[in-house]
Amino acid sequence: MLKRAISIVVTVSLLTGLMISAAWAQPEQRAESKPPLETTAEAAFLMDYHSGLVIFSKNPDKPLPMASVTKLMTMLLACEAEAKGQVKLSDIVTASEYAAGMGGSQIYLEPGEELTFEELLISIATGSANDASVAVGEHLAGSTEAFVQMMNERAKELGCKNTNFVNPTGLPAENHYTSARDMALVMREALKYPLFRKISSIYEYDLRGGDFKLWNTNKLLKWYQGCDAGKTGWTNEAKYCLAASAERDKLRLISVVLGTEEPRSHFRETMKLFNYGFARYQAVVLAEQGEKIQSVEVDKAMADTVDVVPAKRISVVVPRGQDKGIKGEVQLLPTLVAPIEKGQVVGTYLVTQEGDELLRVDLVAATDVGKASPFQLMGKVINEVFTMDK
């Protein structure tokens, strides 16, 4: 009898202990499964502009309508064409009847009305003008259909896997969609162009000599410190959308939110993403693109040396406070022999932290270096001899 009683007590004690252990373990498991950031957006994406580091995502590859955020690709193609010299900002664009007939947000182009290419670009960036978007597309490609083909081809080149454009405006159309990740890639490419940064940051603009006032639909230009680029979008189908970029302390972030419900919720959710990124991460910049790293001797050259610069910004993004032990190492080719072309790779800049590789960036020649003729080489040798004698 006594043995049976002891057995019951032991059993009860063990069961009680297991229940207490489970009770303690359960909240901890819930804490681990909780996402680090909550957003009401149907899809969201936050990344570092320079490194491409993904800081946060929610349904990043879900195909969704994006309304006027579409115009990021329209502006990207326009900026690329201007940079290649295929079009000038001063070019006169004549509005077609089709462009003038666009509904939604517009600058009310009249058929045959003439504006400069720059004025139309600013109208797209600030006023989200659908008629200006079509006019720009027609000017660049000859027709809207040809321009849409350019948009889709460029999306594929950028690695967009869940994007298909049907028009350059974002007006509702079947089979017109993107993903938060894909639109971040488009935004990242657009930010490479000073023209895009310029027009995207304009908050107000007087069109037609001041007869028509444009206000930027991206209110974060005024509401959020460091925000200097972006594109909003809204339709009943897409709801509220925003792709934006902000920079603080040399950390530039790109945020995309798609499908937020209430008015201004796309601004609120974007600020939430930006706050999360800036609070938790920092940029460690070792050198800017084009910044002189050192001068290197060049054999058989007209010039004795050439400056070596990074092909892109040398920076890494790390969690705040975890920047200790980050070092840079210059690794150059053993010898450089003329001729050298500007932009030619001459070495590597290696970034490590506690011995672990974080980043490799090409080092390139800052200028052309011509090959010296035999007479020039002979003159240099003679000059060196006389210099040594002195």
Using the 3D structure, point to which of 206, 231, 256 is the last residue of a domain.
231
Alpha helix positions (H), 238-367: 265-280
CA proximity to 161, closest of 56, 47, 62: 62
Gap between the Cα atoms of 202 and 90, Å rounded: 18
Does residue 68 have an active-site annotation?
yes
Q: Is the pLDDT of residue 24 over 50?
A: no
Q: What does the angle CA 291 – CA 287 – CA 51 come to, to the nearest 5 degrees?
A: 120
Whether residues 222 and 303 share a domain: the answer is no
DSSP state for residue 321 in the 8-state scheme: T
Q: Indicate whether 259 belongs to any domain.
A: no
Burial 113-135 (b: 16+ CB within 10 A, else e): bebebbbbbbbbbbbbbbbbbbb
Gap between the Cα atoms of 280 and 277, Å rounded: 5
CATH number for the domain spanning 372: value is 2.60.410.10
Higher pLDDT, 377 or 209: 209
Q: Indicate whether 92 belongs to any domain.
A: yes
pLDDT of res. 8: 43
Whether residues 225 and 328 share a domain: the answer is no
Region 346-373: mean pLDDT is 93
Higher pLDDT, 18 or 249: 249
DSSP state for residue 197 in the 8-state scheme: H
Whether residues 170 and 311 share a domain: the answer is no
By CB atoms closer than 10 A (0-12, 13-18, 19+), residue 344 is middle
**The one-letter amino acid at 242:** L
Domain of 336?
Answer: 288-389
pTM of the predicted structure, to 2 decimals = 0.85
Whether residues 205 and 294 share a domain: the answer is no
Gap between the Cα atoms of 20 and 43, Å rounded: 39
Region 56-80: mean pLDDT is 98
Whether residues 184 and 76 share a domain: the answer is yes
Average pLDDT taken over every residue of the chain: 90
Q: Indicate whether 368 belongs to any domain.
A: yes
Q: What does the angle CA 199 – CA 203 – CA 204 come to, to the nearest 5 degrees?
A: 100
Whether the Cβ atoms of residue 163 and residue 182 lie closer than 8 Å to each other: yes
Q: Out of 96, 105, 123, 128, which one is annotated catalytic? A: 128
Does residue 128 have an active-site annotation?
yes
Using the 3D structure, point to which of 231, 257, 274 is the last residue of a domain.
231
By CB atoms closer than 10 A (0-12, 13-18, 19+), residue 245 is buried
CA proximity to 78, closest of 147, 32, 27: 147
**The one-letter amino acid at 5:** A
Q: How do residues 190-219 score in pLDDT, each as one tens digit?
A: 999 999 999 999 999 999 999 999 999 999
Whether the Cβ atoms of residue 109 and residue 100 lie closer than 8 Å to each other: yes
Q: Out of 58, 71, 231, 272, which one is annotated catalytic? A: 71
Region 19-36: mean pLDDT is 43
Q: Indicate whether 271 belongs to any domain.
A: no
Q: Using CA of residue 311, residue 313, residue 319, residue 323, what is the dihedral sign?
A: positive
Using the 3D structure, point to which of 231, 258, 274 is the last residue of a domain.
231
Q: What does the angle CA 287 – CA 289 – CA 290 come to, to the nearest 5 degrees?
A: 105
Q: Out of 68, 179, 255, 265, which one is annotated catalytic? A: 68
Higher pLDDT, 264 or 20: 264
Q: Using CA of residue 95, residue 101, residue 105, residue 109, what is the dihedral sign?
A: positive
Whether residues 126 and 192 share a domain: the answer is yes
pLDDT of res. 79: 98
Whether residues 81 and 193 share a domain: the answer is yes
DSSP state for residue 95 in the 8-state scheme: P
91 is written with which tokens?
């070019």
Q: Is the pLDDT of residue 1 over 50?
A: no
Gap between the Cα atoms of 80 and 140, Å rounded: 11
CA proximity to 135, closest of 168, 89, 174: 168
Whether residues 156 and 71 share a domain: the answer is yes
Q: Indicate whether 125 belongs to any domain.
A: yes
pLDDT of res. 269: 98
Q: Indicate whether 264 belongs to any domain.
A: no
What confidence category does residue 376 fall into, taking pLDDT thresholds of 50, 70 and 90?
A: low
The residues facing 108 across adjacent strands are: none
Name the residue with tokens 């609070």: 279
Q: Indicate whether 381 belongs to any domain.
A: yes
Number of domains comprising the chain: 2
Q: Indicate whether 8 belongs to any domain.
A: no
CATH number for the domain spanning 115: value is 3.40.710.10
Whether residues 184 and 113 share a domain: the answer is yes
Residue 114, phi-psi category: left (phi > 0), alpha (psi -120 to 50), beta (remainder): beta
